[in-house]
Structure 1
C-alpha cells in the first residue's frame, strides 16, 4: 500500500481515502457553521417597511448613480452585478405578458448579450434575474397578449433558444431601468427579491442609498409582494436604524439622559418583535414599519449628533423582564400620571403599572379640547354601522385611578352604547384618553374646598394665585382649561361650557396611550439630574437594563 502525505491548512492527512474523509467532514462542518454565522448576523439587523412616504407607489426612482444588485443569503450579501444609472434608476411593477427562456445564464453580462441579439430582431427581450447566479431571457412586457405573441414568432427557433408558455402577470415581477436598458426581476421561482446597495459614500464617508430624495443607510429591497404596487424595505443594522428613530420620536434638544432612555426603549421594541429575516425574502416584506404604528423612522437625513451620541452611549442596552426583552412602550405626554396596561389593552403586564408623572413640568403636548354636535356624533356612529337613533346623552361612566376614561356611555332614542377603555378615544379620534365631557349650562371649573369638616364649592376662575415672586393675581380668563396639580396627578377643568344643548365639549390632557415611559416626564427627570437608568427603572417596574 502506498502512503501519501497531503498538507491541508497545516493538517497532515494520510492517503487519498483519509483525505476524502477529511474533506467530507470539513464540508459537513461548514454547512452547519455557515448558516449559524448568517443567523448570528441577522439578529443585529432589521427590515423596515418605508410606508410613510413610499407606500403603494407605482414607480420609484433611486437617485444613487452606482449600485450593486445582490442577494442576502444566510445574512451575507452576495453580489450579483454592478449597475450604472446616470440619472438614477426607475423601478416599476412588470404587469405585462412574458415568454420565459428555458436556458439559464450564470451572469448578467451573458444574459444581456443574448437579449441584445434578440432586440436587434425587433423584439423586446430583457435579461431577467430570478436568484443568485440565475438569469434568464424574458420576451414581451406588453399588457396586450397578441403583441407579445407576434414578437415571439420573430425569434422562435433562433439561436437554439426555447421558451415556455406565455406567462401572465404573477404580481411578483418588477423592472429596473438602467443606463444599459431594462432588467426584469422575478421572484416566482425562488421567492426572493434582490437587495440594492450603494457603491458610493457621502462627504462624511457614510454609505447611503437615496430613493425619492430620502437617504438611507444599509440596503433597499423593492418588490411587489403579490400586489400591483411597490413596497420598499430598508435592511440595515439595528444600531444604524435607531439613529434614524430617536430624533423622530424625541426632540434632539432634550437632555442627553432622556435621549439615552429613548434609545434603550426603541432598541427594546425592535428586539421584542418577531425575529426579522434579513435574507432576500418575498414571504413577508417587513415586521417593523417607519410610521407611528411601530416607531417613526426618518433615515439618515433626520439623524442628529445629540441623538446619535445617545444611541452610541447605550449600544446594545435593552430592557429585560424575567429573561425576555420587553416591548418598552412609550408615549409623548401623560397629563400627570401614566396608565396601567390592563386599563388600555385589557390585560395585565407586571412591568407596565401606573405611576405619578411628577416631573412632567414641560409637557411636549399641551391640554386640548374639541366640540362635537349631536349630528356629528350620529355621523360617526353611522360610519361604524351603529344606529342609536337621536342622541340624548353622552357621559363618562367610569374613570381609572389615573383619570383616564374606562367607560364612555352614549344613550340614543333607539339604543345605548358603551365604549370601553381606548374605544371612546378611538371613536372621537382624540389625542389621549384622559378627558372630561362638558355640556351646556354646566360649571366645569367647579371645585370643592375642604376646611376642617366643612366642604364648600368654589369656581377656579374666581380664585387668585401667588406666583413665584410673591405676586398675587386673579386667574386668567383667556385660557381654555385650568390644570390643578396634586401630589400624584394632575386634573383639568374647562373654563367654559358649550352654549347650546346640541353640542358637547371634550377637554383633555396628555398625548398617546399613556402606558410605559412618558417622554415629557423623562425630559423633566433628566433635567433634575436623573440618569437614563433611573428614568427607565421609574417607568418600568422590576426590569433589568443589560445587553
Structure 2
C-alpha cells in the first residue's frame, strides 16, 4: 500500500474533523331573582439563519410520554411540530403558527440549557403535558386529523421550518416565552400573576381577542360550593365581596370578603375559572360567574396572535408586540452548548 503524503493526510484529517463538529407555551342563567353580586371599590428584520435547519437537526429532545410511561428521544424539528399541533389550532394563520413555533423552540432551548429536572423522570428532559409543553406524536395527530393529517402536518412543518434555528432573547438570554389562549383585551404584567417581574412580560393591549370564541364564559356554582372553595360566608348581603384592586391588565387583583382578602389568582384557581377577570351575581342558591378571557394572561395571546396575522402582521411583529424589548436571534451558540453537554 502506498503512503499518503503529509499534506494529503492533514487535509483528510481536517475534513473528517469538520464532519464531527455538531451544527449548531356555559351554563345558562337560570330563572330567579338576583340578590347579590360582586362589587367594586377602587381607590424588524429576521436574523441570518443560514444552515439553521442543521441546528434543529443536531438536537434531540428526551420526552417522557405520560400516557405510555416511556421516554422517547425525538428530533427537535419533529418535537416542535408536535408541540405546535397540540398547543395551537391548526386552522390558525401561518404567521400565528410561526410565532407559536418560535415560542416553543425558545422554551425547550431554555429548558435544556437550565438542566431543570423538576417534575421530570430520570433520563427525560420534559414531559408531554402542560407542566412543560403539550406534545402530540405523529400517531396522535393522524388520529385527531384523520383525512386532513397530511395537509395539516405539512402546514405546521412549514411554520416550524420558517423559524428554524431562531429563538427569542432578552439581553442575550432565552426568554420565558409564556403564552395562553385568550386575553380580556390586555395581557398581564408577569408579577401581577407570578412572583417574578420579567422586563419583557409587560401588559399590552390585545383587542383582537374579543373575536375569540373563548372570550366570554359563564360558570354556575352553588352558594355552598362557593363558600367552601373560598373559605368565606356569603350570607344575605346584597354584595358578595368587593374588588379593591385591579392589575395593569384590568383583571381582578384583590377581593375583600368582609375583611378576608383573596387574590384574583387564588379565586380563579379555587373556583377553576377560565380567567382572573371575573364578575358574579347570586341567583337563588347559586352564584353565576362570568369571566372574560381564557388563561393566565401573561405573554403571547394565541387568539391575539391569530388576529394580528389576519391583519397581515408577520410573526416577527407578533412576538415583538407580546414580548416587549426582545430580539429574534440565531440559536446556533446555544444549540452547540446543548449538543456538547451530551
TM-score by length of 1: 0.46
- Report Cα offsets for 1:180-221 as digits up to 9, x if no partner: xxxxxxxxxxxxxxxxxxxxxxxxxxxxxxxxxxxxxxxxxx
Retained in 1: the 8 A contact 2:64–2:121? no
- Root mean square deviation, CA, Å: 3.2
2:132 is aligned to 294
Retained in 2: the 8 A contact 1:351–1:542? yes
Corresponding residue SS for 2:207: coil
1:396 is aligned to 243
The structure 2 residue matched to 1:258, chosen from 96, 100, 109, is 96
Corresponding residue SS for 2:296: coil
- In structure 2, distance between residues paired with 1:358 and 1:12: 65
The structure in which a higher percent of residues are helix is 2
1:42 CA drift (Å): 10
Structure 1 pair 379–299 and aligned structure 2 pair: CA distance change class (3 A)? same
Unaligned runs of 5+ in 2: 25-54, 142-151, 331-342
Unaligned runs of 5+ in 1: 1-5, 14-25, 55-230, 440-497
Corresponding residue SS for 2:62: strand
- In structure 2, distance between residues paired with 1:283 and 1:370: 36
The structure in which a higher percent of residues are strand is 1
1:368 aligns with 2:217: yes
1:436 is aligned to 279
- In structure 1, distance between residues paired with 2:83 and 2:8: 53
1:409 is aligned to 256
1:340 aligns with 2:221: no
The structure 1 residue matched to 2:162, chosen from 313, 318, 326, is 313
Structure 1 pair 283–41 and aligned structure 2 pair: CA distance change class (3 A)? farther
1:140 is aligned to none
1:9 CA drift (Å): 8.8
- In structure 1, distance between residues paired with 2:247 and 2:56: 45
The structure 2 residue matched to 1:503, chosen from 279, 286, 290, is 286
Structure 1 pair 423–264 and aligned structure 2 pair: CA distance change class (3 A)? same
- In structure 2, distance between residues paired with 1:436 and 1:273: 37
Larger CA Rg, structure 1 vs 2: 1
1:427 aligns with 2:270: yes
- In structure 2, distance between residues paired with 1:371 and 1:405: 19
The structure 2 residue matched to 1:523, chosen from 303, 306, 318, is 306
Corresponding residue SS for 2:71: strand
TM-score by length of 2: 0.71
Give the number of aligned pairs. Answer: 274
Structure 1 pair 361–418 and aligned structure 2 pair: CA distance change class (3 A)? closer
- In structure 1, distance between residues paired with 2:184 and 2:195: 21
